[in-house]
């Protein structure tokens, strides 16, 4: 085995987005693309020699090959040890846990999350820091800077490492420890939740449908829900990870998990339905006859957290990303908890969690989590709901109706316009941004604008400031419109319009009906449909 030094040159477009670097798979497979980025990670984290890292991915097409490249480059760089999930699989939350549990210097996760996989799909790479969380902006900026000046990378010439069996191997001077991807994570869940209560729930005939969407959560869900908790075999569907996710779009929302939604809305629906995404950090929660929005789910978890053993002592505080509905704020105000508002991206919760300011946090983009790891965690959210349902002994629908009766209801929806020409998308944002100072006091479609600004975040822990995080317009009565461009897409631009309205009286309306005037106001303000030539959003969640 020898270390080869390969001459290369900077490749454009290696700037990490909301969560790592995501590109079309073919781009990642292009000459030197993956290698350049991995070498830049080593540079961005101040060198990798002597370090111990975790490695795993969501099993999508190119996962196995990319893992071998990372291992050979780590060995060439003098990394002491890599702890890798069997067959190069690790869900994002399990990777976060492993980094923390084993006290490593961080880890590399191979995933494009909820983006489709396959030769025509997407691939991604992200680095997580020693706290288990996504690298903060300071680190991703250092990585990006390194991509711009790279002239060579190092890689070991070697056969592929056999990642099929747990155990420790050598690759040059580096140790490779292959671990069961599920075992440590399952143990952690057992420490957080009341597994006895959950076993009793299933023993009593409670019916669950968990759609793993042919992505990485399948083995975790089967091991925990079916094997340990006794949910009947077959409760977990699409449970075998496939490189192309069965040609599906592993994004747990009513559009892409429609089969589950249809089942949950049917006469013979199970008691509880849930789905997770490509890398297992997102979740969708449903009850019989009800879809719970991620924002409402976060609020309900906060309100009921004391029923879960790990949080029985109370929450330190809570946080949500800015576009997430303010249902959480109403719970926090009632419970006397601090509630933080951060930019989109789980990395912004890291400092709040590490400093003990918050216990629970979440995002409208189907992410919920706590201080147990430093990533959002799909299966954790499912277990949290099951734990709460077991204790409250009521259906999901009744629980949400009770929640709204107590706190009021934040009707909420996100309208996405995908694959928009980037120039048009930027022009729409620029135009609205310029008009923001003049908007307060104006009336639009019968709604008065109370405030309008571009969100900037001052991190209370490290004092860093992050600007240009979305345009927000507050309307009378707690209604709100937020606009931002997605940072996870790989083709053109995706414009996200987040719509919200509070009602404390009428609690059972269809969300789109309830929000109709806010939707109309958003169109009047932006002219989005006219400017993009779209009659309607591509995706409504």
Residue 273 DSSP SS3: strand
The least distance separating ligand G16 from the CB of residue 111, rounded to whole angstroms, comes to 8
- Element housing 88 (H / E): strand 81-89
- Residues at the interface with ligand G16 (CB under 6 A): 18-19, 113-114, 277, 281-282, 321, 344-346, 363, 365, 367, 486-488, 496
Q: Which is nearer to ligand G16, 426 or 486 (CB)?
A: 486
Q: CB 226 → ligand G16: shortest distance, Å?
A: 25
Q: Which is nearer to ligand G16, 86 or 324 (CB)?
A: 324
Q: Closest CB to ligand G16 among 114 and 501?
A: 114
Question: Cα–Cα distance between 479 and 472 in angstroms, integer?
Answer: 11
CA 463 to centroid of chain Cα atoms: 25
Give the shortest CB-113-to-ligand G16 separation in angstroms: 3
Sign of the dihedral defined by the CA atoms of residues 425, 431, 434, 436, in that order: negative
Cα separation, 255 vs 536, whole angstroms: 15
In angstroms, the CA 144 to CA 44 distance is: 8
Query: CA–CA separation, 146 vs 8, rounded Å?
Result: 13
Q: Which is nearer to ligand G16, 51 or 484 (CB)?
A: 484
CB atoms within 10 A of CB 50: 11
SS3 191: helix
CA distances in angstroms from 120 to 134, 247, 290, 293, listed in the order given: 26, 10, 34, 30
DSSP of 316-340: S-EEEETTS-THHHHHHHHHT--EE
Q: Could you tell me the smallest distance in angstroms from the CB atom of residue 336 to ligand G16? A: 27
From CA 44, how far away is CA 34, in angstroms rounded?
A: 15
> What is the token pair recorded at 399?
């629980």
Element (H, E) at 147: helix 137-147
Q: Kindly tell me which of 284 and 444 has the beta carbon lying closer to ligand G16.
A: 284
Specify the residue, 394 or 540, whose C-beta has the smaller distance to ligand G16. 540
Whether the Cβ atoms of residue 495 and residue 482 lie closer than 8 Å to each other: no
CA distance 93 to 382: 13
Taking the CA atoms of the chain, what radius of gyration do you get in angstroms? 23
Give the nearest distance from C-beta 49 to ligand G16 in angstroms.
29
Give alpha helix (H) positions in 193-335: 195-203, 217-221, 258-264, 294-304, 327-335
The reply to whether 365 belongs to the active site is no
Q: Determine the Cα–Cα distance for residues 478 and 528; give it in Å rounded to an integer.
A: 23
Rounded least distance, CB 440 to ligand G16, Å: 26
Angle, CA of 484, 489 and 492, to the nearest 5° = 85
Q: What are phi and psi of 213, to 5 degrees?
A: 55, 35
Identify which of residues 320 and 501 has a Cβ nearer to ligand G16 in the complex.
Answer: 320
Min CB(93)–ligand G16 separation in Å: 11
Q: Looking at 98-207, which runs of residues are DSSP E strands?
A: 107-110, 122-128, 152-157, 167-171, 174-179
Q: Closer to ligand G16 at the Cβ: 19 or 293?
A: 19
To ligand G16, the closest distance from the beta carbon of 367 in angstroms equals 6
Contacts of 410 (CB under 8 A, 6+ apart): 295, 296, 299, 325, 326, 327, 330, 478, 500, 501, 502
Residue 430 near residue 493, CB atoms below 8 Å = no
In the complex with ligand G16, the residue whose CB is nearer, 172 or 250, is 250
Tell me how far, at minimum, the Cβ of 189 lies from ligand G16, in Å. 20
Residue tagged active-site, from 19, 91, 113, 276: 113
Q: Which is nearer to ligand G16, 218 or 489 (CB)?
A: 489
Q: What angle do CA 509, 510, 516 make, to 5 degrees?
A: 100
Please, what is the minimum distance in Å from the beta carbon of residue 210 to ligand G16?
18
Give the catalytic positions in this structure: 113
């Amino acid at each position: 085995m020898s270390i080869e030094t390969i001459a290369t040159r900077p490749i454009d477009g290696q700037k990490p987005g909301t969560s790592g670097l995501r590109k079309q798979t073919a781009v990642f497979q292009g000459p030197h693309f993956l290698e350049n980025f991995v070498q830049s990670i080593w540079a961005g984290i101040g060198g990798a020699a002597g370090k111990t890292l975790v490695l795993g991915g969501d099993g999508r097409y190119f996962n196995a090959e990319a893992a071998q490249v990372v291992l050979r480059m780590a060995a060439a760089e003098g990394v002491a040890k890599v702890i890798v999930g069997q067959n190069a699989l690790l869900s994002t939350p399990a990777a976060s846990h492993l980094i923390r549990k084993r006290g490593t210097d961080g880890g590399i996760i191979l995933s494009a999350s909820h983006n489709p996989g396959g030769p025509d799909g997407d691939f991604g790479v992200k680095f997580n820091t020693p706290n288990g969380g996504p690298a903060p902006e300071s680190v991703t900026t250092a990585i990006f800077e390194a991509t711009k000046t790279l002239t060579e990378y190092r890689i070991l010439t070697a056969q592929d490492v056999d990642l099929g069996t747990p155990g420790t191997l050598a690759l040059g001077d580096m140790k490779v420890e292959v671990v069961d991807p599920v075992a440590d994570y399952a143990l952690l869940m057992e420490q957080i939740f009341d597994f006895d209560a959950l076993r009793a729930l299933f023993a009593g005939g409670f019916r669950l449908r968990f759609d793993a969407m042919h992505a990485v959560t399948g083995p975790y869900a089967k091991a925990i829900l079916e094997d340990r908790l006794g949910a009947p075999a077959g409760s977990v569907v699409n449970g075998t990870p496939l490189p192309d996710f069965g040609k599906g779009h592993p994004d747990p929302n009513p559009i892409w998990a429609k089969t589950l939604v249809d089942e949950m809305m049917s006469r013979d629906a199970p008691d509880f339905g849930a789905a997770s995404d490509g890398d297992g950090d997102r979740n969708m929660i449903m009850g019989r006859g009800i879809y719970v929005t991620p924002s409402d789910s976060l609020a309900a978890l906060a309100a009921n957290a004391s029923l879960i053993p790990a949080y029985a002592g109370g929450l330190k505080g809570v946080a949500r990303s800015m576009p997430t509905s303010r249902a959480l704020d109403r719970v926090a105000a009632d419970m006397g908890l601090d509630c933080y508002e951060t930019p989109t991206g789980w990395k912004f919760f890291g400092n709040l969690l590490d400093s003990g300011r918050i216990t629970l946090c979440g995002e409208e983009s189907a992410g919920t989590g706590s201080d147990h790891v430093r990533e959002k965690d799909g299966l954790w959210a499912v277990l949290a709901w099951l734990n709460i349902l077991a204790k409250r002994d009521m259906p999901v629908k009744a629980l949400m109706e009770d929640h709204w009766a107590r706190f009021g209801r934040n009707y909420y929806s996100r309208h996405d316009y995908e694959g928009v020409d980037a120039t048009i998308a930027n022009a729409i944002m620029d135009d609205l941004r310029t008009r923001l100072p003049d908007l307060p006091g104006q009336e639009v479609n019968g709604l008065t604008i109370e405030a309008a600004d571009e969100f900037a975040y001052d991190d209370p822990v490290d004092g860093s400031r992050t600007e240009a995080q979305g345009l927000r317009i507050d309307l009378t009565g707690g209604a709100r419109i937020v606009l931002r461009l997605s940072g996870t897409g790989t083709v053109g631009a995706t414009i996200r319009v987040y719509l919200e309205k509070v009602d404390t009286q009428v609690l059972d309306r269809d969300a789109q009906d309830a929000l109709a005037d806010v939707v109309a106001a958003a169109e009047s303000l932006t002219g989005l449909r006219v400017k993009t030539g779209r009659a309607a959003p591509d995706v409504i969640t």
